[in-house]
Structure 1
Amino acid sequence: MSAWRDRWSGALPRVAVVLHDLAMVWIVWEVLHRLRYGVMLNPPDMPFWSAEIALVLAAQGLVFWQVGLYRGLWRFASVPDLWNIFKACALGLFAIVLGLFLYNRLNLVSRTVLVMYPFVLMGMLGAPRLLYRAWKDSHADRGEEASVRILILGAGHAGDALVRDLRRLGTYQPVGFLDDAPSLRGSKVQGIPVLGHVDDVAEIARETAARLLVIAMPSADATEMQRVVASCERSGLPFRMVPRLRDTLEGRSLPGQLKEVAIEDLLGRQQVLPDWKAIRDWLGARSVLVTGAGGSVGSELCRQCARHGARRIALVEQDEFALITILASLRRDFPDLEYIPVLGDCGDTAVIDYALKAAEPEAVFHAAAYKHVPLLETQLREAVRNNVLATETVARACRAAQVGTFVLISTDKAVDPGNVLGATKRLGEMVCQSLVDHRSTRFVTVRFGNVLDSAGSVVPLFREQIRRGGPVTVTDPEVTRYFMTIPEACQLILQASAIGTHEAIYTLDMGEPVPIRLLAEQMIRLAGKQPGRDVSIVYTGLRAGEKLHETLFHADERYRSTAHPKILQAEPRPVVSREVHLALGKLRDACKRYDLPALDELLRQTVPEFQPIGLHPRPNPPATTVVAFPTVATRKN
């Protein structure tokens, strides 16, 4: 019953406007004809009501409705509305002439009146609208006028709650809702009218003088969000969105706080919900150690561990600024926990031994790694030292210290490695397998693809290129990658760690691969620009070591489902521990000598599935070119 009353209360002002406009049409038509024929000695008889007048009202009223004259509000009438009114009057005149010609061949219709009619009618319709706005502006509350007028897209529960929060803040003035549900059209939510469909946002935003758009559709999927964001972009106004419930519950957004639309909202991935009870049961009251704690994944792992019950966190990081930053963030957000910062290289035996003794962790997350594909193609020694030898150092120290669980953060590039990153991470997995002892530490490997907005990923690069005005560089128009958000990746790492299997390799279901071209286009649009017009996209070609498409599963690893639908467990490929340990000794010796050819040969031998892609020649000693005098020749050492 209340919904019925709201619908009628929203419709009554519109009916009054229609009646006002039709009355103006009748008055203008009658007055102009009486003035025209009043100067005649024997004016014709002109009744106040006739079939002719009814036809005029019907023709003009129909044009008013079709032109959309009643979608706007008098409260925000402006000069563009006057143009819309004149267009309606001119088209109405054409409809009237056509109708009267068919009815009575324009009998007693003055040609002078037909010329004056659209201009006089425009004045009679526009003047009351502008005067009403001026009157409302002069009597409006100053505090209300100082607030930002916003149009809310979505009149559901999120929109209703948003209005309540905004009214408490007092800095925003909601002027209307847009919603595609037919049942809501013309109704009111919290006293605010539902003005039209989401696709009409550009026109309605202009008619209501809105200055900000807010998307209140937290349950919308990526396809729907893309459509809504495209509509918002056409309006030319800034837009924000109500955070998803998950972001609010996990502390990344405050209730009622508006956030910018992020690229992950548009990529088409379904959010993965972990089994929080299983994670808290496994992690609760534990001491944990995270290597690479200042990195994108490592820092989020620290936050997730703090949020879900860890009592002590040791942070091992060789970048002092990154360590200070994450430590300050954790102490601010989780002041009751104990933190042990350790500045140093986790590949240094003394550093990792000290950290293990100080923290006495029950779980170690090894997130420290080099991961930039093109760079590592030319930095083979550092890739082996950090991704392989440091992994062995940490894993062996954990086994010696009887740590309960060691978790290696790996990558989908280790499945069928085609670059140095993939080969070194695959060898790191093999190192963990070779150290398995079912009487001591449980070794767990978790693989996933690219992490959105992590250091070195394409998202920060694209963002900077867009900020500079372009061009945005994409390697190939067909290239695709698997993506997930940093929090989502870390939650699934904890979920996989909590499953409890010995010597396990877990692969995270990354959903559908995302074309990098689409990612670039969406980021350009989110910046308020148009791809190809405001910011160009340039295709540079695949770089050394880069694949066109990544793979998540290896043919020789049999996969089975786990307790979590988004986590698959692979059966590890067999490794010969003695051969792995011999190779590690040779790799360590080659690293000390900076012997790149030896490192390259050892990596190919130890990881036989490593098939280099693109420009990955066997390293040679650097060439030296000496140019001093014309008589001195160029020589190579």
Structure 2
Amino acid sequence: MKIFAKHRKFILAIYDIVFINCSFLMALFFRFYTDIPTLYIEHYKRAFLPITAVYLLIFYFFNLYSSLWSLASIDEFMIGGVSNLLANSIILIASSFFDDRLPFSVIILAGVFIIIFTLGFRMLFRIYRRATLMFRKIDKSGFKRVLVVGAGMAGLSIVKEIYTHPEMKYEAIGFIDDDKNKIGKIIRNIRVMGDRNSIKDMVDRYAIDLIIIAIPSLPVKERKELVKLCNETRCKTKIIPGVYELLDNTVSLSKMRNVDVKDLLGREPIKLDNKGISDYITGKTVLVTGGGGSIGSELCRQIVNYKPKELIILDIYENNAYDLQNELIRKYPSLNLKVLIASVRDKRRLEKVFDEYRPHVVFHAAAHKHVPLMEFNPEEAIKNNVMGTLNTAECADKYGANRFVLISTDKAVNPTNVMGASKRMCEMVIQAIDAKSKTEFVAVRFGNVLGSNGSVIPLFKKQIEEGGPVTVTHKEITRFFMLIPEAAQLVLQAGAFAKGGEIFVLDMGSPVKIYDLAEHLIRLSGFEPNVDIKIEVTGLRPGEKLYEELLMDEEGLQNTDHDKIFIGKPGNFDLSVVKSQIFAIMDLIKFGKNDLLVRKIQEVVPTYKTTEGNDITNKEMTEELSVFQEIVMNNSGS
């Protein structure tokens, strides 16, 4: 076999020469039996060299000497058939121009024999390889017993790979498929055991170690339900990505991944109007504040696909910015990239940045976002979120940016915490400044982003790794979730719809119970909730509410050209009034009047109501705030 492997092309050509000529002799024999006319023998002696040459050249052209026949598929055999038919046709046509030729019936019959011999010989390599695999003795101790969900082409590919690669230490035990015509049938010596409702029973009955969901074309909602069924077993589950994730449409074990929480959300892939996005990003200078954060960094990754003239990443935290810089340089070496370490609180620094780079588009993602932390540090929420937005927005207006997109949050709707109230004030700032500016200022509001820094998923995963307990603040608490890439894509799309002053509201799908999410994540990790890993309910944190809203009552809702993006009615705010209110809050911070700060924020954001137990409508506190404001006004007047 080693000699054959070394001289494979030459040996195959020798065999083909023998097969071609034997086929013609057999055809003469079958046509005339033992009484072959001497004339045709002479004709063949003169023609066998050009006939052989035609076949060899056609075979060479169709790569019949380069294919690895031990792994050949139906495609290779179809190509072999086409090459044979083409060679036979050329010989038939050429022979028709000569009087001293072989009969057409002999040429056609010889062509049939050549197909049988040449392809049959090559098939022997596949048969030999299959036989060696079938009869080899493999010690399957330590192999993972696998249940494959989906008896289609993808499932077949997975079983084939398991079968041919024992070093992976997988053993295919059975298929699961909802097609009733397949149930009970045997495919590649593996039985289709039942439909999806049989999964739990089959896992228990056959001691399954691993479930592989191999249906790339499965709709997202159905996949979500299927994942839940698999998740109810204590079995490890992996999944072949959907067709939109399989860039080359090939299915293999190397492409399967662990089932993740995102599979349980059932989010449909986003369809984007790429032309609309390109129109305002391609060839433009784009600035992303907070560019090293979860949303900011994903925005940068998405933006580079639209070929901006220059991408500027601004962030106060150098580590994230540095990591993102290295990633983008590695993936996009021709990208014109600038990474600036700066704070949006620093107006002078921002002025220099805008004056030097003159960004056409600004995505403002810089913000403090952690609710409990901001509840105990309200002054920082105001300085970073509100003043940072005002500083950045005024610079965008002054230096002629075309578009400014604020990243907002569902917590800005009827806020019950300082963080949400501060983001509502940010929305007020951009709606107020839009009324007087040539720059199109808009906000994009969405809920929690799955897997972002500080979100609940990384916290749960860490708690599970530590053996628990997993902490949930309330058994009935719900949140809206979307994926980081999805959020970034919709932000870019919303920017394309901007006319100025809108608050774009993203469709977050159905709210998810955090307690259910904890249970699913524990099961995905191979444990049983409240048996192996305890779930502990700790009580609502300061500023936290059970249910988030995406739209304020007074805003209304309008459709856009995208089915996942809606527009809230623009607010009517006067910039001078909004700024004076913000500066009044900053005065409280400046003079250390943090006890009055929350009361003043409520004056600015009337929909802000603190959670039960914090009375900020206290009459004495209101009077104290009025006295302080009067003192500040008198001092500023003198």
Same fold (TM over 0.5): yes
**Residues 291, 167 of structure 1: CA spacing in aligned structure 2 closer, same or farther, 3 A cutoff?**
farther
CA distance in 2, matches of 1:250, 1:184: 28
Q: 5 Å matches for 1:377-388?
A: 377-388=375-386
Asked if residue 156 in structure 1 is aligned to residue 152 in structure 2, the reply is yes
CA contact (8 A) 2:302 2:489 kept: yes
Q: 5 Å matches for 1:403-442?
A: 403-437=401-435, 440-442=438-440
Corresponding residue of 1:564: 562
Corresponding residue of 1:351: 349
CA contact (8 A) 1:377 1:616 kept: no
Corresponding residue of 1:482: 480
Corresponding residue of 2:257: 259
Corresponding residue of 1:16: none
Amino acid at match of 1:482: F
Corresponding residue of 1:509: 507
CA distance in 2, matches of 1:255, 1:337: 34
Q: C-alpha displacement at 1:227, in angstroms? A: 4.4
Q: C-alpha displacement at 1:254, in angstroms? A: 10
Corresponding residue of 2:25: none
Amino acid at match of 2:474: D
Q: C-alpha displacement at 1:604, in angstroms? A: 1.8
Amino acid at match of 1:159: G
Q: C-alpha displacement at 1:343, in angstroms? A: 1.0
Corresponding residue of 1:87: none
The residue matched to 1:451 in structure 2 has which SS? strand
Corresponding residue of 2:325: 327
Question: What's the CA shift string for 1:445-499, capped at 9, x where partnerless?
Answer: 0001111111121111111112222222211111111111111111111110011
CA distance in 2, matches of 1:161, 1:401: 57
Corresponding residue of 2:112: none
Q: 5 Å matches for 1:222-621?
A: 222=221, 225-231=224-230, 234=233, 236-249=234-247, 257-437=255-435, 440-616=438-614
CA contact (8 A) 2:545 2:611 kept: yes
CA distance in 1, matches of 2:518, 2:148: 27
Amino acid at match of 1:427: M
The residue matched to 1:301 in structure 2 has which SS? helix
Q: C-alpha displacement at 1:595, in angstroms? A: 3.0
Q: C-alpha displacement at 1:508, in angstroms? A: 0.8
CA contact (8 A) 2:471 2:535 kept: yes
**Residues 197, 285 of structure 1: CA spacing in aligned structure 2 closer, same or farther, 3 A cutoff?**
same
The residue matched to 1:517 in structure 2 has which SS? helix
Corresponding residue of 2:136: 140
Amino acid at match of 1:590: L
The residue matched to 1:377 in structure 2 has which SS? helix
Corresponding residue of 2:33: none
CA distance in 1, matches of 2:161, 2:213: 15
CA contact (8 A) 2:151 2:192 kept: yes
**Residues 389, 215 of structure 1: CA spacing in aligned structure 2 closer, same or farther, 3 A cutoff?**
same
**Residues 161, 346 of structure 1: CA spacing in aligned structure 2 closer, same or farther, 3 A cutoff?**
farther
CA contact (8 A) 1:314 1:355 kept: no
Corresponding residue of 1:51: none
The residue matched to 1:435 in structure 2 has which SS? helix
CA contact (8 A) 1:152 1:174 kept: no
**Residues 189, 275 of structure 1: CA spacing in aligned structure 2 closer, same or farther, 3 A cutoff?**
farther
CA distance in 1, matches of 2:596, 2:157: 64
Question: What's the CA shift string for 1:374-422, capped at 9, x where partnerless?
Answer: 1111101100001100110111111111111100000111121111011
**Residues 232, 561 of structure 1: CA spacing in aligned structure 2 closer, same or farther, 3 A cutoff?**
closer
Query: TM-score, normalized by length of structure 1?
Result: 0.69
**Residues 268, 205 of structure 1: CA spacing in aligned structure 2 closer, same or farther, 3 A cutoff?**
closer
The residue matched to 2:420 in structure 1 has which SS? helix
The residue matched to 2:444 in structure 1 has which SS? strand
CA contact (8 A) 1:162 1:256 kept: no
CA distance in 2, matches of 1:281, 1:167: 51
Amino acid at match of 1:576: D
CA distance in 1, matches of 2:330, 2:368: 29
CA contact (8 A) 2:368 2:385 kept: yes
CA contact (8 A) 2:287 2:312 kept: yes
Question: Structure 2 residue aligned with 1:177, among 175, 178, 196?
Answer: 175
CA contact (8 A) 2:227 2:263 kept: no
CA distance in 2, matches of 1:182, 1:590: 71
Amino acid at match of 2:149: L
Amino acid at match of 1:274: L
Q: C-alpha displacement at 1:506, in angstroms? A: 0.5
Q: 5 Å matches for 1:185-204?
A: 185-187=183-185, 194-201=192-199
CA distance in 1, matches of 2:471, 2:450: 17
CA distance in 2, matches of 1:514, 1:185: 35
Question: What's the CA shift string for 1:161-204, capped at 9, x where partnerless?
Answer: 55677789885467343212112234466776534434445665
Q: Which runs of 5+ in 2 are unaligned?
A: 1-130, 622-638
The residue matched to 1:557 in structure 2 has which SS? coil
The residue matched to 1:341 in structure 2 has which SS? strand
Which range moves more in the overlay, 380-389 or 580-589? 580-589
The residue matched to 1:152 in structure 2 has which SS? strand
CA distance in 1, matches of 2:422, 2:405: 16
CA distance in 1, matches of 2:142, 2:610: 62
Query: TM-score, normalized by length of structure 2?
Result: 0.69
CA distance in 1, matches of 2:331, 2:576: 46
Q: C-alpha displacement at 1:354, in angstroms? A: 3.4
CA contact (8 A) 1:543 1:614 kept: no
Corresponding residue pairs, total:
485
Amino acid at match of 2:451: D
CA distance in 2, matches of 1:189, 1:304: 43
**Residues 168, 428 of structure 1: CA spacing in aligned structure 2 closer, same or farther, 3 A cutoff?**
farther
The residue matched to 2:611 in structure 1 has which SS? coil
Q: C-alpha displacement at 1:611, in angstroms? A: 1.4
Amino acid at match of 2:195: H
CA contact (8 A) 2:230 2:237 kept: no
